[in-house]
C-alpha cells in the first residue's frame, strides 16, 4: 500500500515498489551524474529478488509531488532488518542501540542496496528549490520511521552537497572512507607513475611485467557489445571470487542479466583471456567524467592480475576517456601504495528514541575521527613524492 501525506509545500507518497513511480519522473529527479540511482538500475535489484522482504529489504521509496501531481523530488529507501551491504556504516551503533533501548531493526535506510558508492540520495528535479525539497523529504522519512516502528532513518553514502545540507538538520552526521583516484591533470599512465618515488614506480612496472609474461589477451565490451549473453561467463568468475573467500555474493545472475540489458551504455566489461578462456573480468560503471570500478571476478591463478585489470588498466582507460575520477569503493589496503588516495564518505542518522541521541552523537563522532585518522595513515602510504596533507589536525 502506498501512503501519502501533506508535509509542507508538496504532497509526499511512500511506494512499496520502484515500479510504482514512472521511470521518466524518477530519472528527472535522479539526473545524469549517478547511474546507480536511476530507474535503469534500481528495478533490477527488486525484480531480480536481490532486494525484497525475503532478503530483509522492504522498499519504501518516497516521492514529492506538486499540486498538479508532478514529481519534484524522490528518495530510494528501504525498511531493513539487517545492515548488509553497508560495510560497517552502523554495525557498532546497532549493537549499542540493542543494549540501550532495544533492537535497531527494522530501520529505514536511504541507500542503493549493496552499492557502497557515494552519490545522490535526496533526489531533486532540476529547477526545484533543493533546500525545501530535501527538508520535506527528510521530514517525511522521519514520519515514515515512526509509522513503520523503525528505530531510525539512516542515509548512507551521500553526495558532498547533501552532506553539507544534512549537517544543518537534526540528523547526526558521520564519516567513513573510500578509495578515489583523481587524474590531477595527467595525460598518460606513464605521467601518472612518473609522479611516484622511483622505488614505487619500479614496483608498479614490475607487477605489470609479471602479468604480461603470462601472455594474456585483454578484450573490452561496451555499449551494444554488452548483452545478457555475457552473464554466464561473467557470473562464474564473479561468484568464484566469493566462493574462495567462503562468502555469499550479494548479487545474483538475474540482476546482472537485467543491468546488462538496461544499462548497456553505462557499463564497460574488461576480460582477461588465456587462449579463449575467460580467467578474469572487471565490470565498471561509467559516466562522461567518472568511472566506478565496481565488480571483479577471477580464477585466482595469476598473481598481480587484480592490480593490472582493476587498477592500472582502469586508470589507463579513464585517462583515454577524459574521465578525471575513479571510485574504487571502500575496501582494499593495497590501493594506497599504488597511487589511489582515500576520501571521506558521508552518512547521517536520526533515531526515533531521543534518549539514544547522545550515545549516537558520541559514537558517530568517534567513528568520524577514526575515519580521519585512517585517511591520514593511508596518505602516508601513497607512493608519490611528498606533498602536504589537506587533512586538518
pLDDT at residue 296 is higher than 70: yes
* Mean pLDDT calculated for residue range 144-165: 96
Set of cell numbers at residue 382: 601513497
For residue 87, what pLDDT band results from cuts at 50, 70 and 90? Answer: confident
CATH class of 3-177+343-380: alpha beta
* Mean pLDDT calculated for residue range 260-270: 97
For residue 387, what pLDDT band results from cuts at 50, 70 and 90? Answer: low
pLDDT in tens, 307-348: 999 999 999 999 999 999 999 998 888 999 999 999 999 999
Q: What average pLDDT does the chain have? A: 94
Burial class (CB in 10 A: 0-12, 13-18, 19+), 85: buried
pLDDT at residue 386 is higher than 80: no
For residue 390, what pLDDT band results from cuts at 50, 70 and 90? Answer: low
What is the model's pLDDT at position 1?
43
CB 84 within 8 A of CB 250: yes
What is the model's pLDDT at position 383?
97
pLDDT at residue 195 is higher than 70: yes
Same fold for the pair 3-177+343-380 and 185-323: yes
Residue 393 vs residues 172, 249, 372, 374, 378: alpha-carbon distances, Å: 22, 39, 9, 13, 15
Read off φ and ψ for residue 369, nearest 5 degrees. Answer: -65, -40
What is the model's pLDDT at position 6?
82
What is the model's pLDDT at position 8?
87
When the candidates are 1.20.140.10, 2.30.30.240, 3.40.30.10, 3.40.630.30, the CATH number that belongs to 185-323 is: 3.40.630.30
Q: Domain ranges for the chain, please list them.
A: 3-177+343-380, 185-323
CB 26 within 8 A of CB 18: yes
Show the 3-state SS of 25-92: HHHHHHCCCCHHHCCCCHHHHHHCCCCCHHHCEEECEEEEECCCCCEEEEECEEEECCCCCCCCCCHH
* Mean pLDDT calculated for residue range 35-48: 97
For residue 388, what pLDDT band results from cuts at 50, 70 and 90? Answer: low
pLDDT in tens, 45-69: 999 999 999 999 999 999 999 999 9
The pTM for the full model equals 0.94
Amino acid at each position: 500500500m502506498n501512503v501519502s501525506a501533506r508535509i509542507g509545500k508538496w504532497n509526499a507518497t511512500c511506494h512499496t515498489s520502484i515500479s510504482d513511480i514512472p521511470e521518466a519522473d524518477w530519472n528527472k529527479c535522479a539526473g545524469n551524474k549517478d547511474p546507480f540511482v536511476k530507474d535503469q538500475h534500481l528495478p533490477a535489484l527488486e525484480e531480480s529478488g536481490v532486494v525484497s522482504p525475503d532478503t530483509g529489504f522492504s522498499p519504501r521509496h518516497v516521492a514529492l509531488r506538486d499540486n498538479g501531481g508532478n514529481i519534484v523530488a524522490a528518495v530510494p529507501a528501504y525498511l531493513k532488518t539487517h545492515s548488509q551491504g553497508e560495510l560497517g556504516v552502523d554495525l557498532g551503533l546497532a549493537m549499542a542501540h540493542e543494549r540501550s533501548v532495544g533492537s535497531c531493526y527494522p530501520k529505514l535506510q536511504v541507500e542503493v542496496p549493496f552499492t557502497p558508492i557515494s552519490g545522490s540520495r535526496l533526489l531533486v528535479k532540476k529547477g526545484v528549490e533543493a533546500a525545501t525539497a530535501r527538508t520535506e523529504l527528510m521530514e517525511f522519512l522521519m514520519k515514515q520511521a515512526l509509522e513503520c516502528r523503525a528505530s531510525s532513518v539512516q542515509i548512507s553514502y551521500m553526495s558532498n552537497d547533501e552532506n553539507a545540507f544534512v549537517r544543518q538538520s537534526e540528523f547526526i552526521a558521520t564519516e567513513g572512507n573510500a578509495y578515489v583516484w583523481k587524474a590531477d591533470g595527467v595525460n598518460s599512465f606513464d605521467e601518472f607513475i612518473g609522479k611516484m618515488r622511483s622505488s614505487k614506480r619500479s614496483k608498479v612496472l614490475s607487477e605489470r611485467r609479471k602479468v604480461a609474461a603470462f601472455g594474456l589477451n585483454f578484450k573490452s565490451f561496451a555499449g551494444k557489445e554488452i548483452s545478457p549473453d555475457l552473464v554466464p561467463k561473467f557470473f562464474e568468475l564473479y561468484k568464484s571470487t566469493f566462493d574462495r573467500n567462503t562468502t555469499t555474493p550479494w548479487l545474483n545472475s538475474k540482476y546482472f542479466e537485467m543491468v546488462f540489458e538496461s544499462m548497456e551504455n553505462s557499463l564497460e566489461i574488461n576480460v582477461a583471456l588465456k587462449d579463449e578462456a575467460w580467467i578474469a573480468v572487471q565490470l565498471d560503471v561509467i559516466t562522461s567524467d567518472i568511472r566506478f570500478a565496481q565488480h571483479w571476478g577471477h580464477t585466482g591463478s595469476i598473481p598481480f592480475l587484480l592490480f593490472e585489470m582493476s587498477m592500472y588498466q582502469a586508470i589507463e582507460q579513464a585517462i583515454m576517456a577524459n574521465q578525471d575520477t575513479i571510485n574504487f569503493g571502500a575496501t582494499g589496503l593495497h590501493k594506497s601504495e599504488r597511487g589511489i588516495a582515500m576520501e571521506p564518505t558521508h552518512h547521517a542518522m536520526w533515531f526515533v528514541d531521543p534518549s539514544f541521541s547522545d550515545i549516537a552523537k558520541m559514537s558517530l563522532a568517534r567513528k568520524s575521527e577514526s575515519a580521519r585518522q585512517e585517511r591520514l595513515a593511508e596518505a602516508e602510504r601513497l607512493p608519490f613524492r611528498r606533498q602536504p596533507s589537506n587533512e586538518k589536525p
